[in-house]
Amino acid sequence: MCGIAGVVQSGGEPIDEQLLERMSASLAHRGPDDRGIRVWPDEGPTRGTACVGLVHRRLSIIDLTSAGHQPMSCPQDRFHIVFNGEIYNYLELREELTRLGWNFITQTDTEVLLAGWATWGQDALKRFTGMFAFAMLDGHERRLTLARDPFGIKPLYWARWRQGLAFASEIPTLLPLPGLSRQAHPQRLFDYICFGVSDHGDGSMLTSVHQVPAGHFMEIPLAPDVGGTVTPRNAQRYWTLPEPSPEKVTMNEAAARVREAFLESVRLHLRSDVPVGSALSGGIDSSAIVAAIRHVAGDAVELHAFSYVADDPRVSEERWIDMAAQAAGAMVHKVRLEPGALTDELDELIRSQGEPFAGTSIFAQRKVFELARSQGVKVLLDGQGADELLGGYPAMILARVASLLRQGRFFSARRLARTAAGMPGHEGVRLRGAISLIAPDLLRRAGRKLLRRPTVPPWLSPQWFHKHDVHTLPPRLERASGARVLHAQLRRFITRESLPQLLR
């Protein structure tokens, strides 16, 4: 990971470079290998144009030389970029751009991103396979563009402050800016406390801090409006999760296509000029990744896997970790946590997250990543999203029951609910739960009254939340057409709830 930040400042005053230095220092843990700052225009404030300060902290992965220094500019000095992430298909794009006449001077994927933008403009976003958050300054058009990868793997926050607008990879970098409010957003606060919702699309837990949504870009004209204010344009979507298109293929044909796509993804993710390892929990997804790395990279590569092992044998997955590591010929490194470790490091964990998070498993992940870093491994392949894609959570069975109810297959729905309720961890699968997924809000409110269930728990102040017009029902499913309740649930977990939470 790298860290990016910047300010857009109106008012005709030069940017305080000490402010940029402080933003850079706050992101030092994200990029210990190099740092860079640039202020534009070079000649200082220009009448009618806001000034821009760009900040970068580098974790060197591709082209470890000083040629990868950022902010990076194109030879014509029109475009300037700060970039966090990796473009996995940069070699293929580099070949295409070379044929179009681009002369590359580094081996970085950053230069490929810069050249792609200079060649194709915003259409370049649809060509990138990778995880990224970047700020692209166009000096000719006098415009700053913020963009984020399709799934929002890399973070990108922005906020208004006293003298304009600012952006950063982390919320704590923005908080010291003059005039920035730290007020919590009432609805998001309620949804987190009552339902565990910790990620909010284009928002955050703070009313003043926003996100560039996953799969979007946002333009910021550098000509302030009549009031002298820098006003960003609404974020524009460049990618959306495709609708399913059923095909008549056999199970074996479908499995072969998934396998081919999976192995190609792993092959691209292994592109690195530093050692690459893997996080290994012993589950199907991470075990498949370790096995795929061995298959793609061959037997000559030294493969390192990093795992958290619980002390309680009832929940420990060490047996499965060892089995997967042995099968892949991987050297496994394990971390075990001492009692009190979480409380000792809780303040730092909260600070680094910047917002409330869903559970303490994030601390175990943090310790796994620390272990990898101590072993000299900068990059880990860490599988997220398998349960969201393949329906691995109990809520997915509930959604399938709801689909059957929508189709009028009541006996099948009842049979599935009864079977699932007898499975460990699936005790919450009940017909009434499935009905609540497809019932209108009016009926759900009526059901709550009949069951005498309060909409606000007794340990919260209902007056405060009602005063702030907080909607107290659980977050609703995306509207499902026909009987496709399960599909709507999968989409919701991938785009709005589970996956964003895990990626953060």
CA distance 348 to 363: 10
Using CA atoms, how far residue 454 sits from 188, 387, 473, 477, in Å, is 19, 32, 10, 21
Polymer length in residues for the chain: 504
Measured CA to CA, the distance from residue 371 to residue 298 in angstroms comes to 25
Q: For residues 407 and 398, what is the distance between their CA atoms, to the nearest angstrom?
A: 14
Selecting among 2, 51, 74, 194, the annotated active-site residue is 2
Cα distance between residue 368 and residue 34, in whole Å: 24
320 neighbors 282 (Cβ within 8 angstroms): yes
Q: What are the Cα distances from residue 258, in Å, to 172, 338, 396, 491?
A: 40, 40, 21, 19
**Cβ contacts of residue 239 below 8 Å, gap of 6+?**
125, 126, 150, 215
**C-alpha dihedral, 232 to 167 to 36 to 66, nearest 10°:** -90
Q: What does the buried/exposed string (b/e) look like for 262-298 if buried means 16 or more CB atoms within 10 Å of the residue's CB?
A: eeebbebbbbebebbbbbbbbbebbbbbbbbbbebee
Among 180, 201, 200, 182, residue whose Cα is nearest residue 192: 200
DSSP state, 126? G
> Could you tell me which residues come within 8 angstroms of residue 130 by beta carbon, excluding any fewer than 6 positions away?
85, 86, 87, 88, 89, 90, 109, 149
Cis peptide leading into residue 71 (ω within 30°): yes
Q: Of all helices (H) and strands (E), which one includes residue 364? A: helix 361-374
Is 194 among the residues known to form the active site?
no
Distance CA(288)–CA(280), nearest Å, equals 9
Other CB atoms within 10 Å distance of the CB of residue 475: 12
| C-alpha triplet 100, 128, 272: angle, nearest 5° | 95
As given in the structure block, the two tokens for residue 241 are 């999760």
Half-sphere exposure in the Cβ direction for 494 (13 Å, CA): 21
Q: How far apart are CA 265 and CA 383, in angstroms?
A: 11
Whether residue 273 contacts residue 376, with contact meaning beta carbons closer than 8 Å, is answered with: no
Task: Give the active site residues.
Answer: 2
